[in-house]
Each structure stands twice: as structure tokens, then as C-alpha cells.
Amino acid sequence: MVFSRAGFLREDCSPSLTALGQFLERAAPGRVSAAFELARMSRWRIGGPADFLVEPATVAELQGVMAVIGDAGVPHVVIGDTSNLLFDDSGVRGVVVRIARALSHIMFTADGQVRAGAGAWVPGFVRTVIQHGLSGCVHAIGIPGTLGGLVVMNGGSQRRGIGENVLTVLVLMENGHLATLSQADCEFGYRRSVLQRSGAIVLEVTFQFTPADARALRREAIGIMQDRRRKFPKQFPNCGSVFVSDPAMYATVGPPGRAIEDAGLKGLKIGDAQISPLHGNFIVNLGHARSADVLALIHEARERVHQRTGFYMDCEVRHVSPDGSVVPAHLRDWSTQREGFA
């Protein structure tokens, strides 16, 4: 059965949504939630309802779900643990597909290679690698989120990226076929990769790590976590670093948090969103923040820092619109949503 995009977007179209839900349920039995409030899973605790949330348990289920979505022509977005996502206040008028813990296997070989599912929780993955006496990913110990998202963003800390240790990435292509990408294919750069724009879904990653002393690695990891607890806000919901650190800006001005602090913006509020008084590169939800509030703060910080330094800070955070499109948050139009400062 083929669904029309217009049919799914009609507000009085419960039969069409019901049919879509039935087809999704056939593809991923017991793993479909209707009218799911995205704020429940958002690390910012922001976001309206999605028509459907689907959490496939296997690659075959994921392929089935994506086939249904493709036939329907319905808006959709594929996510991990939401640690760098800002959902829109209006939610998603379509399907949110979450690569969940069911796809979180971790397998070791004798030569320092590790194969892991995209749904693996990053801190748990790093701890397991450390326990096996392998070096190369300790820098990612404090990063919340799933492994697939970490690889897509080439995430890390201490100005390192997980892509340094990637050998291959198994992906589900938009045409429904599986493909294996090499490290070179992924085009890793600082907090970027070709995976951010390819439309492919990361399923599994193979890494090459180096043998090392597990006790020394554990001490290093503890030190990183202590430093993060001291520097980063934990009291209020947030998504971690908002702006990506540009190497050219870093060399002359410093990291985004320092630039925002030097601009006198720490503590600035719009609605219930606030630039954290503890760290300038964090925006926290004081209780009832909207996505519009966060977008307005992002714009204000970018403009004020640009005025002082000549550098525009780009976002690590991605905004998810109601039509399922995902773009760096600084590219979203905020002009009609801004309400003023508290």
C-alpha cells in the first residue's frame, strides 16, 4: 500500500495515521508508540509530540520500518540518544525512528579490533574497552549518547574525535541496502563526517584500538570525569556543548565557552532557557523552556561573539523541525519566535 504525503499531514486524517501505525507495527511488533511526547526523551526536556516513535530491535526490523516510511512518503527522522538534538515545540508530524539499546552489542578480537552496535551507550562502551586494556577512546568517556551518533558527529573531547580509531562503518543506505564504508569514505573532520549529510543510518562500527595498561586508562578516565563534573552544569536539563570549537577561533580567541563568557552572556535568559552561569557553551532548561527560546539564545550568542571577535560560532546542536529535517541549530529561522530577555 502506498500512502500520500498530503494524506498523512491532514489534521483530520486519523484513518491514514491508523493505517501507517498498523504497517509500522507489522514491521516492528511491539515497538511502536503513537503520539509520543519528544520532551520525555529529550535531554533538554523540550519538544512536542511525534505521530509515531519506533524503536526497531534488529536490522531487519529497521529495514522494514524504513521501507514502510519510504512507501508512505511520510516525514521522518532517525535518532540515537538525542544528546545533540533540539526538538521543535511542534514535535514531528511523521515518524521518529530511534536506534535503541537492542542494537548495542560489543565484540572484541585478539588484535585490538572492536565491533559495536550503533545503539551502544558511549560511556558504557568506553568503560568496556578500558576493561579490555585498549587505548584510543578514553577521551569520549563523559559524552552522553549512542555510539552511532558519536561516529556521525566524530565526537570526542580534548580536541580529539572518535573517527581516529574507526576502521569501517556498516550503514543502511536510503535505498534499503547495506553498505560498508571505510574510514576514508566517512571523510572525518573536526566534529563532522560525510555521514551527517549522506542519509545513511549507522548500524555497526569496527574500531582499531591499541593495547595499554587498563589501570592507567581507568585513572585517565576518572580524571576526565572529575574535570567534567567540575566544569559542566548538571542541575538542569541540557544537551552538552551547543557550539562547535572552530580551530581558527580557538587559536586566537579560545573555545566557545570562553568567548561567550568574555561577551558577558553567562546567565542570560530568554523564557526559561538560560546560558549556564557555570559554563558559557551550555544552554540549560530552567523548567519550561521552548525550542524557540533556545534558538533565540543561540542567535544572540552568535551575534554578540561575532561583534567582539569577528568569528561566527556554528552549532554542534541540531534542530529537528516538524517535517523531520535536521540542520545545525544556528541555521534555523528564529526571527518570528523571539520574545525578549528576562
Q: Is the pLDDT of residue 61 over 60?
A: yes
CB atoms within 10 A of CB 161: 22
Instruction: Compute the residue count for the chain.
Output: 342
Cα dist. 79→42, 51, 106, 147 in Å?
Answer: 11, 15, 20, 11
Query: Under a CB-based contact definition with an 8 Å cutoff, are residues 163 and 169 in contact?
Result: no
pLDDT (average), residues 128-139 = 97
* pLDDT of residue 118 exceeding 90: yes
241 is catalytic: yes
pLDDT at 335: 60
CB 64 within 8 A of CB 27: yes
Give the pLDDT confidence score for residue 1 in this predicted structure. Answer: 41
User: Is 316 considered catalytic here?
Assistant: yes
318 is catalytic: no
**pLDDT of 8 over the 60 cut:** no
Choose the catalytic residue: 31, 93, 98, 191.
Answer: 191
The whole-angstrom distance between residue 280's C-alpha and the CA centroid of its chain comes to 20
Integer Cα distance of 337 and 240 in angstroms: 23
pLDDT at 10 over 50: no
Q: Catalytic residue among 316, 318, 321, 332, which?
A: 316
Mean residue pLDDT across the chain: 91
CATH of the structural domain 5-98, one choice from 3.30.70.100, 3.40.1350.10, 3.40.50.720, 3.30.43.10: 3.30.43.10
Task: Please determine, for residue 334, whether its predicted confidence score (pLDDT) is greater than 70.
Answer: no
Half-sphere exposure of 12 (CA within 13 A, CB side): 0
Query: Quick one: angle between helices 14-27 and 59-72, nearest 10?
Result: 150
What does the pLDDT look like over 250-308, one tens digit per residue? 999 999 999 999 999 999 999 999 999 999 999 999 999 999 999 999 999 999 999 99
In the chain the first and final C-alpha atoms are separated, in Å, by 51
Domain boundaries, the chain: 5-98, 103-218, 233-331
Instruction: Look at the block and give the residue holding cell 530568554.
Output: 270
Strand order in the sheet with 201-208: 106-108, 113-117, 201-208, 166-172, 178-182
Enter the pTM of the model.
Answer: 0.89
List, for residues 150-187, the tens digit of each pLDDT value: 999 999 988 899 999 999 999 999 889 999 999 999 99
Distance CA 41, CA 22 (A): 23
Residue among 231, 262, 261 nearest 158 (CA) = 231
Q: What is the pLDDT of residue 14?
A: 45
Q: What percent of the chain has pLDDT over 70?
A: 93
* Grid cell at residue 220: 585517565
One of 3.30.465.10, 3.40.50.12780, 3.40.1180.10, 3.40.50.300 is the CATH number of 103-218, namely: 3.30.465.10
Domain 233-331 has what CATH class?
A: alpha beta
Residue 281 or 103, more confident: 281
Catalytic residue among 42, 104, 135, 241: 241
